Structure 1
Amino acid sequence: YRTELDRQFKNEKSNFKIAIVVDMWLTGFDVPSLDTMYIDKPLQEHTLIQTISRVNRVYPGKEKGLIVDYFGFKSHMNLALKKFNRADSEVFEGIDEAIKIVKDELDILRRVFKNFDDAMFFTGSPVQKLNCLKHASEYVQLTDDLEKRFMASVKRMKSAYDLCSSSENISKLERDKIYFYGAVRSIIFKLTKGDAPDTAQMNDYVRKMIQEAILSEGVEEVFTRSKIVGSRSVDIFSDEYLERINKIPLKNTKIKVLTKLLKDAIEAYKKVNRIKGIQFSEKLQKMIDSYNNRHGDKVYAEEILDNVAEELTKLLKELEADKESFKDLGIDFEEKAFFDILVEIAKQHDFYEDYIKQHGEQKLIELSKEMKKIVDDKSRYTDWAKKEDIKADLKVSIILTMADYGYPPVVQDEVFKEIFLQAENFKKYQ
Structure 2
Amino acid sequence: MKVLWNKGEFYTQVYEKPFCTQEPRGFSHREVQYNQFMIATSNYRAKAGTIGAKVQHYGEWKDPYPRTVPELGDSPTKQDILVAGMLSKENLLDLIQNFIVFEVDGGRVIKKIARYQQFRAVNKAIQRILHAKTPKDRGGVIWHTQGSGKSLTMLYLAVKLRRIKELQNPTIVVVTDRKDLDDQITKTFRKCGFPNPQQAESVKDLKRLLQQGPGSTIMTLVQKFQPDKDQDEYPELSRSENIFVLVDESHRTQYKGLAMNMRKGLPNACYIGFTGTPIDKEDKSTTRTFGSYIDKYTIEQAVDDGATVPIFYEARMVNLHLQGESLDRLFDRKFSDYSEEDRERIKKKYAKEEAILAAPSRIEQIALDIVEHFENYILPNGFKAQVVAVNREAAAIYKQELDELINGKYETALIISTGPEDKNNELLKDYSLSREEEKQLIERFKKPFEEDKLAILIVCDKLLTGFDAPIEQVMYLDKPLKEHNLLQAIARTNRTYEGKTYGLIVDYFGVSKFLEKALAIFSKQDIQGALLPIESELPKLKQAHRKAMSFFDYINRSDADACVQVLEPEDVRHEFEKAFKEFSKRMDMILPNPEASPYVEDLKFLGKVRQMAKTLYRDEQMDISECGEKVKQLIAEHLYAESVEVIHEPIDILSSKFDERLEKAPSKEAQAAEMEHAIRHEIKVKLEENPVYYTSLREKLEQLIEARRKKMMGIAELVEKLRSMVNDMRNVNQQAQNLGFTREQYPFYQLFQQLLPDEEHKDAIDALTHLVTDIIAEESQVIDWVNKEDVKREMRKKIKKQLRASVIPKDQIENVTQQIMSLAMVHYKR
TM-score by length of 1: 0.62
If asked which structure has higher relative contact order (CA below 8 Å, sep 6+), I would say 1
String of CA shifts for 1:324-347, please: whole Å, max 9, x gaps: 21111112222222211111222x
1:1-400 aligned within 5 A = 15-19=407-411, 22-24=447-449, 72-74=492-494, 76=496, 81=501, 93-118=532-557, 132=558, 134-135=560-561, 137-138=563-564, 140-141=566-567, 143-168=569-594, 170=595, 172-191=597-616, 192-193=619-620, 196-197=624-625, 198=627, 200-201=629-630, 207-211=636-640, 215-216=644-645, 220=648, 223=650, 225-226=651-652, 236-237=653-654, 241-249=658-666, 257-258=674-675, 261-262=678-679, 265-266=682-683, 269-270=686-687, 272-280=689-697, 286=702, 312-346=722-756, 352-353=757-758, 356-357=759-760, 359=761, 361-382=762-783, 384-385=785-786, 390-400=791-801
Distance 1:364 1:18, change over 3 A: closer
**C-alpha contact 2:587 2:596 (8 A) present in aligned 1:** no
Name the structure 1 match of 2:803: 402
1:381 deviation in Å? 3.6
Name the structure 2 match of 1:420: 821
1:188 deviation in Å? 2.9
Instruction: State the alpha-carbon separation in 2 of the partners of residues 288 and 107 from structure 1.
Output: 36
Greater strand proportion: 2
Instruction: State the alpha-carbon separation in 1 of the partners of residues 784 and 409 from structure 2.
Output: 54
Instruction: State the alpha-carbon separation in 1 of the partners of residues 741 and 716 from structure 2.
Output: 38
Instruction: State the alpha-carbon separation in 2 of the partners of residues 177 and 189 from structure 1.
Output: 18
Distance 1:385 1:141, change over 3 A: closer
1:204 deviation in Å? 7.3
**C-alpha contact 2:785 2:791 (8 A) present in aligned 1:** yes
**Secondary structure of 1:201's partner?**
helix
Greater helix proportion: 1
1:419 deviation in Å? 1.2
Matched residue type, 1:97: S
**Secondary structure of 1:340's partner?**
helix
Range 303-312 or range 320-329, more displaced: 303-312
1:384 deviation in Å? 4.5
1:102 deviation in Å? 0.6
Matched residue type, 1:113: F
**C-alpha contact 1:199 1:207 (8 A) present in aligned 2:** no
Instruction: State the alpha-carbon separation in 2 of the partners of residues 294 and 309 from structure 1.
Output: 14
1:370 deviation in Å? 0.7
TM-score by length of 2: 0.35
Instruction: State the alpha-carbon separation in 1 of the partners of residues 570 and 789 from structure 2.
Output: 47
Distance 1:258 1:142, change over 3 A: closer
Structure 2 unaligned residues grouped into runs of 5+: 1-374, 381-404, 413-444, 477-488, 503-527
**C-alpha contact 1:287 1:308 (8 A) present in aligned 2:** no
How many residue pairs get aligned? The number is: 345
Instruction: State the alpha-carbon separation in 1 of the partners of residues 600 and 657 from structure 2.
Output: 42
Matched residue type, 1:175: V
Instruction: State the alpha-carbon separation in 1 of the partners of residues 749 and 699 from structure 2.
Output: 20
Distance 1:147 1:406, change over 3 A: closer
1:309 deviation in Å? 5.6
Matched residue type, 2:575: R
Matched residue type, 1:421: S
Distance 1:407 1:110, change over 3 A: closer
String of CA shifts for 1:157-202, please: whole Å, max 9, x gaps: 111122222444x263333333333443344345423865557435
How well do the aligned residues superpose, as a CA RMSD in angstroms? 4.8
**C-alpha contact 1:43 1:76 (8 A) present in aligned 2:** no
**C-alpha contact 1:338 1:419 (8 A) present in aligned 2:** yes
Distance 1:188 1:362, change over 3 A: same
**C-alpha contact 2:608 2:639 (8 A) present in aligned 1:** yes
Matched residue type, 1:210: L
1:14 deviation in Å? 9.4
Instruction: State the alpha-carbon separation in 2 of the partners of residues 199 and 253 from structure 1.
Output: 32
Distance 1:289 1:100, change over 3 A: farther
Instruction: State the alpha-carbon separation in 2 of the partners of residues 238 and 376 from structure 1.
Output: 30
Extract structure 1 runs of 4+ deviating beyond 6 A. 89-92, 250-253, 303-308
Distance 1:340 1:17, change over 3 A: closer
**C-alpha contact 1:269 1:277 (8 A) present in aligned 2:** yes
Name the structure 1 match of 2:104: none
Distance 1:176 1:281, change over 3 A: same
